[in-house]
Chains A and B, each alone.
Chain A
């Protein structure tokens, strides 16, 4: 239990510490140490969970079950590896005077604050606090997106800011409608905003209000996830922000928004007792998948290319949750974890590539495998992972998704395969010349590819073998979600 409070306290203390040391060289290492301790603490929380089952803390205000324990592990792990990566990356930026020391302090402060709000969002039992934390995560990252102060960065941050806060305001309205249904059926004032209480009484809720609430929640949190047609901000924000921020946005924030949406989906499914939410998920998921697969073909910017791949994968994850049932939900959860690991690895490598070559334009980056072998290999492996080639984890999850799709609707399976071929073609045609071909001039800087390879290694392992503990956790989480 102490470990549980620790995972929330550490980032808070970390943020305060960063106010003092944030601008110094040592701050990057402090960042690594804090996030590493946090990861260890989350392992203790997991072991506590495995022995005691779901538990609440702080007078029911926090609730931990198999679903969020997976997300907590993923979050603390990714913040740790990103901290290792960002240490080298951000310090280089300071050395070449791209950002000032003041901004380094701001970055480290926000890094810890972001970790804090994301962990609050994942652990809270209170749906209102969940919203506050989601909004907090948005506000914490907005100024990180515009960190380089270029015209493009400011435009991207503005778009991200406006779309996110408007979207998330709609999600608040949805939350209030859910709370409104609860006030009509539940007498106790204190507990009727708690998810664990609502889920037991959801079958008494007014279906009409709940339906309306879900639409608002889907639009609201869907904007943060980056569902088409609310995805407009995503490629801009991902491509213009500094690499570690892109990793946080793509690897963590979209996952947390998806987590919030699924928590509500569980409630709404019980209240409505039909397949409405599932159908909406499948529709939006497929649309995102197809649009992203097509737009991905013609990107000239390496980070935009991978941003569209984020939309595409998230689309498929949503489809998996939409199909529902034990197998598809298992796929969805597994896919969520693997995609998060893979996407963070990709953006870490791409961040290194951009720092080495000084450009984001695909045409100007050539022959990485000769000039920078570890980056070249990293990029080609990461691309194969993200394009769902065997034997990596994404292939496994897409294969499982394909099999469940055939049972659910063969037509869906056909669209899936065609889309995946288009995506693969897009990636290979864009990335192949970047990796092979005649090398272009590069700037020699220190690279940090270790965390990316750690992620890729994990994805490789999970592609062929899921450890028993993880399998257990996933099975437990499936029981929560369906």
Chain B
């Protein structure tokens, strides 16, 4: 069971790498669905292992929210805004990939010097979760379209969720529900913004948001 969960965490890390190289919005949403299903599976396995009812609820919550509801909202927006074509070209994809790999190494480097010094499964999980989170940030930094930003953010959230799930045996239920609710609201707000952006700059390319800056001559 332990090794199965480990495998799944590594697969989730892999999906984070796929996001970075992806330039089509449809594929990104599909990958996100995959990532969320993997996350839900990990939660379910954890539930089987510990036999705690909270994990079952958490798994159901993840499946409904992250692999059904949010992707549905995203697809709906994509259809409505008519942006199924290419998202953006990514500059220097291979450099980006090397950078991402370096980020993973860096996360392991940060986690190693803990008090116990013994290499445990938990340290591994925290390093991977941190890597998934930082890779999500990398998506936010390198992709220029607003719609990839939502995927980046959700991927970050998934990494954090994984850390909470496997390293700490889950946050208390009230907190978890609160987080899930906030994520849902954030997703809806993203949707509102897509329409605002489309209306004001006629594009979802955030590079065009350049009215407000300090002009330092």
A: residues with CB less than 8 A from B are: 126, 128-129, 131-132, 135-136, 139, 142-143, 146, 149-152, 154-159, 161-162, 165-166, 169-170, 172-173, 176-177, 179-180, 183, 189-190, 193, 206-209, 212, 235-236, 239-240, 295
Select A143's contact among B179, B192, B197, beta carbons within 8 Å: B192
The answer, yes or no, to whether B171 is at the interface (CB within 8 Å) is yes
Contact call A136/B163, Cβ cutoff below 8 A: no
Q: Which residue of B lies closest to A162 (CB)?
A: B149
Give A151 to B178 CA distance when docked, in angstroms: 32
Scan residues 93-144 of chain B and give those whose CB is less than 8 A from a CB of chain A.
110-111, 113-116, 122, 126, 129-130, 133, 137, 140
Chain B neighbourhood of A136, CB < 8 A? 182, 185
Contact call A176/B167, Cβ cutoff below 8 A: yes
Residues of B contacting A: mostly = helix
Chain A neighbourhood of B172, CB < 8 A? 126, 128, 189-190, 193
CB distance from A249 to the nearest CB of B (A): 16
Contact call A166/B153, Cβ cutoff below 8 A: yes
CB distance from B117 to the nearest CB of A (A): 10
Q: Which residue of A lies closest to B196 (CB)?
A: A154
Contact call A139/B186, Cβ cutoff below 8 A: yes
CB distance from B149 to the nearest CB of A (A): 6
CB distance from A194 to the nearest CB of B (A): 10
Select A206's contact among B114, B156, B163, B200, beta carbons within 8 Å: B114
CB distance from B54 to the nearest CB of A (A): 10
CB distance from B201 to the nearest CB of A (A): 7
Contact call B167/A172, Cβ cutoff below 8 A: no
Q: Which residue of B lies closest to A178 (CB)?
A: B168
Chain A neighbourhood of B197, CB < 8 A? 154, 158
The answer, yes or no, to whether B175 is at the interface (CB within 8 Å) is yes
Give A151 to B174 CA distance when docked, in angstroms: 38
Contact call B171/A179, Cβ cutoff below 8 A: yes
Number of A-B contacts (CB under 8 A): 126
Chain B neighbourhood of A176, CB < 8 A? 160, 163-164, 167-168, 171
The answer, yes or no, to whether B206 is at the interface (CB within 8 Å) is yes
Given contacts A132-B179, A139-B185, A151-B211, contact A146 B196 (CB under 8 A): yes
Scan residues 156-188 of chain B and give those whose CB is less than 8 A from a CB of chain A.
156-157, 159-160, 163-164, 167-169, 171-172, 174-175, 178-179, 181-182, 185-186
Contact call B201/A180, Cβ cutoff below 8 A: no
Contact call B168/A139, Cβ cutoff below 8 A: no
Total number of B residues with any Cβ neighbor in A under 8 Å: 49
Given contacts A139-B186, A158-B206, contact A193 B211 (CB under 8 A): no
Residues of A contacting B: mostly = helix
Contact call A149/B153, Cβ cutoff below 8 A: no
The answer, yes or no, to whether B2 is at the interface (CB within 8 Å) is no
Give A448 to B193 CA distance when docked, in angstroms: 33
Select A172's contact among B111, B169, B179, beta carbons within 8 Å: B179
Contact call B168/A155, Cβ cutoff below 8 A: no
Contact call B113/A208, Cβ cutoff below 8 A: yes
Give A405 to B116 CA distance when docked, in angstroms: 39
Give A51 to B130 CA distance when docked, in angstroms: 46
Select A128's contact among B115, B130, B175, beta carbons within 8 Å: B175
Contact call A295/B214, Cβ cutoff below 8 A: yes
Chain B neighbourhood of A179, CB < 8 A? 164, 168, 171
The answer, yes or no, to whether B48 is at the interface (CB within 8 Å) is no
Contact call A169/B196, Cβ cutoff below 8 A: no
Contact call A128/B174, Cβ cutoff below 8 A: yes
Contact call A166/B156, Cβ cutoff below 8 A: yes
CB distance from B209 to the nearest CB of A (A): 4
Give A126 to B204 CA distance when docked, in angstroms: 38
Chain A neighbourhood of B149, CB < 8 A? 162
The answer, yes or no, to whether B81 is at the interface (CB within 8 Å) is no
A/B interface sample: 21 pairs, CB < 8 A:
A129-B178, A131-B175, A135-B182, A135-B186, A139-B185, A139-B186, A142-B189, A149-B199, A150-B200, A154-B196, A154-B201, A159-B212, A161-B189, A162-B140, A165-B153, A166-B140, A169-B157, A173-B159, A176-B164, A206-B116, A208-B113
Give A240 to B201 CA distance when docked, in angstroms: 17
Chain B neighbourhood of A150, CB < 8 A? 200
Contact call B153/A240, Cβ cutoff below 8 A: no
Select B174's contact among A129, A177, A209, beta carbons within 8 Å: A129
Give A154 to B193 CA distance when docked, in angstroms: 8
Q: Which residue of B lies closest to A164 (CB)?
A: B186
Contact call A208/B114, Cβ cutoff below 8 A: yes
> Assuming A154-B193, A156-B212, A161-B189, what are 6 further A-B pairs, CB within 8 angstroms?
A126-B175, A139-B182, A146-B196, A159-B209, A176-B167, A209-B115
